[in-house]
Amino acid sequence: MFTLTPDRSAVLQALADTFIPALPDGSPAGSTGLNLDKLQEAIREQPQGAQAEFAQLLDLLEKPLLGLTWFGPLRPFRKLNPAQREQLLQSWAASNVPQLRKGFNALRKLCTLLYYGGSMTDVPAAWGHLGYPGPAEKPVDTPRPIRTLRPAQDTVYECDVLVIGSGAGGGVVAGELAEAGHDVLVIEKGPYCHGCDFTQREVDMLGKLYDAKGTLSTQDGSIGILAGSCLGGGTTVNWAGAFRTPDYVLQEWAREHDAPQFTTLAFKESINAVARTIGVNTNYTRHNGQNQALWDGSTKLGQEVKLIPRNEKGLDDSDAHFRALGYTTLGDAHGLKQGTLNTYLLTAFEHGARILADTKVDHVTIAHGRATGAEAVHTTADGRPVRISVRARRVVVAGGAIQTPALLLRSGLKHPHLGRHLHLHPTVVVGARYPHTMNSWHGPSMSVVNDTYTMLHGTNFGAKLETPPTHPGLLSMVLPWLSGRQHHELLRDADHLGSFIVLTRDRDGGRVSIDKHGTPLIDYTLSDFDRANMLEGVRAAAQIHAAAGAETVYLPHNTLPTLHVKEGVMLNPDVLDKLPHLSWKPNQFGLYSAHQMSTCRLGGDSATHPLKPNGETVEVQNLFVADGSAFPACSGVNPMLTIMALAYFMAQGLKTSRPVEAQRVAMA
């Protein structure tokens, strides 16, 4: 397990001061905002191999041989002067050696996130220099509506249905089956948070609500992956977009994967039922600066834009609600967002379901080809591990497209396509500076969408243009770093920045496997086909920024290609033409994913699909999967509503069918 020795701590503080140097404007150096305990916790969430690699990186920085990596003086990092330290990091960022680029990006992201994201207990001095107000006013605290189990010693539970995961898939299955009279037990790896537990500080909430404390990534470090890991899962932290699956995608799934249910009236009714329950609507039409820019720029170019349906209720036009909406990706302290936490899980609890948070499932138990329950470890409030054994007649796995295949692999399933076909909706950020304040950290993170580029060149593949959360921690990670001063000056304009995301429907996928400890390993390389579509989206996003009145547009590459605009006219449009000719190797540009899908895809051909059309695994009876990993391919839109509809559809089948018997033998 990774340990921060005194030498490693000193190196990290020197790195932080190089990435974020003290400047004449009074901005403090990075080490003043670096909480090393939180950094160590984040590193310990990584696979063992990644932890060892990070330790080796820090140890290398303490050795004179470090100079060979950048043809500089043969001195340890701390013995270099500030200019030399910066030159070393710049050299690594542009290196042809993949490991050096990976090391640079890992260090940069950690240091800038902890500094700008508020890792210290006091109010970061940096926020004042960015114009960032910090968290909105807190609501009045209220009692928790769900009472979770809190076992203090090793415990055995029995139930009809064990649901592993509580997000868009697991939460819906639990609510539907409990309401129908089934004895349901829900196990969730993450914590149960409510109301004032959501502090609205990035580092705290990323560490508490997201898988791997918000630092989940591909093995090469090139793609940052945001995946909810708390009660309510992704529905607790997502951006509230409730998109219906495009008909052409549902038809593709039905046709190419022998899954005809996706084009049936019953599946459409499943989408409608879920949308009603979570209150999907387009009633709230107040936009923040960057959403208004996406609307205005697209409209000026003659492109159609639409309001994004969102699952929030109880909103009014007050500034308080407008500000609060900006923080719901860090957990909704005001209960406006209708994720499973406030809907299906509450229904499940009210109908007798038991809910066990802070509990990691090690493996599903299997006997005679049938699932019989699971073995897990619960962490008590005082940090003690407690063994949990569950005996169940049926098991539904809904841990998400990264954790679900890892759990099935740990449980002994061996289907050749299990863990393959990983789709990530790879996403880049195109930022721009506007002459007026944008304050895009307030208001809905995404309320406007441009679908002009979703079906490029006669295919079902392309890119959506939307907007992301823009709190300083995440913003600091996505804005390219060329030098400490340059990066800080970009962020100092944070209140004038507007950002669009280019969300790519990827045709070509990656893979999830496990290491010898059973930890998921994620491999994904953006294909030439998908990158070409992404870059068409980048060009479009830049043109929309220009049309909306931006002065400067920052393109998503580590060399920071920059467009200059005057009165809507690009002064150097050749920069866009040169984009495809840049090198786009891993860690040469910032790539992110908030949607993971298709690693346990369902379909009619059991040789190529680990799941039957009803969601049951082809290898093990009474074992089902009900989350985004079951998608035959990626949805092309925010997958929350589609996952919930699929889980609802599966739940109706589970209500009317019976588990395959002979459980008496397995459980005797």
User: 540-597, pLDDT tens digit by residue?
Assistant: 999 999 999 999 999 999 999 999 999 999 999 999 999 999 999 999 999 999 999 9
Strands 623-625 and 591-593: unpaired
Alpha carbon distance 190, 260 (integer Å) = 35
Helix (H, G, I), strand (E, B) or coil at 405: helix
Task: Give yes or no for a contact between 555 and 540, defined as CB atoms under 8 angstroms apart.
Answer: no
Which of 551, 535, 626 shows the shortest CA–CA distance to 583? 535
Q: Give the pLDDT means over successive 10-residue stretches in the chain (668 positions).
A: 95 96 84 91 95 96 96 96 98 97 96 91 81 85 94 98 98 98 98 94 95 96 97 97 97 98 98 98 96 98 98 93 94 94 98 98 98 98 97 98 98 98 98 96 97 98 97 94 95 95 97 97 98 98 98 97 96 97 97 98 98 98 98 98 98 94 49
DSSP state of 616: B
What angle separates helix 265-277 from helix 640-656, to the nearest 10 degrees? Answer: 110
Length of the chain: 668
Give the helix, strand, coil percentages of the chain, each rounded to 5. Answer: 40, 20, 45
Q: Where are the domains of the chain?
A: 6-130, 155-241+243-277+311-421+595-667, 422-593
pTM: 0.96
User: Which pairing describes strands 184-187 and 155-164: parallel, antiparallel, or unpaired?
Assistant: parallel
What is d(CA 404, CA 211) in angstroms, rounded to the nearest whole number?
A: 13
* Contact between residue 357 and residue 648 where contact means Cβ atoms under 8 Å apart: no
Q: Say what the pLDDT of residue 258 is.
A: 97
Supply 373's token pair.
């329950």
The CATH code of the domain at 155-241+243-277+311-421+595-667 is 3.50.50.60
Helix ranges restricted to H, 336-385: 344-350
Mark out the alpha helices in 382-471 (DSSP H runs): 400-410
DSSP H helical ranges for 502-584: 528-548, 574-578
Take residue 281 and report the two structure tokens written for it: 């609507």
pLDDT the model gives residue 662: 62
**Residue 7 DSSP label:** H
Strands (E), 1-70: none
95-121 per-residue burial string, b: 16 or more CB within 10 A, e: under 16:
beeebbbbbbbbbbbbbbbbbbbbbbe
Phi and psi, residue 523, nearest 5°: -120, 130
pLDDT of residue 668: 37
Structure tokens at 78: 């701390």
Beta strand 497-504 pairing with 463-466: antiparallel
Among 481, 591, 528, 640, smallest CA distance to 225 is for 591
CB 284 within 8 A of CB 447: yes
**250/260 Cα distance (integer angstroms):** 9
What is the spatial distance between Cα 551 and Cα 618, in angstroms, rounded to a whole number?
Answer: 56
Q: Which residues pair with 430 in a beta bridge?
A: 500
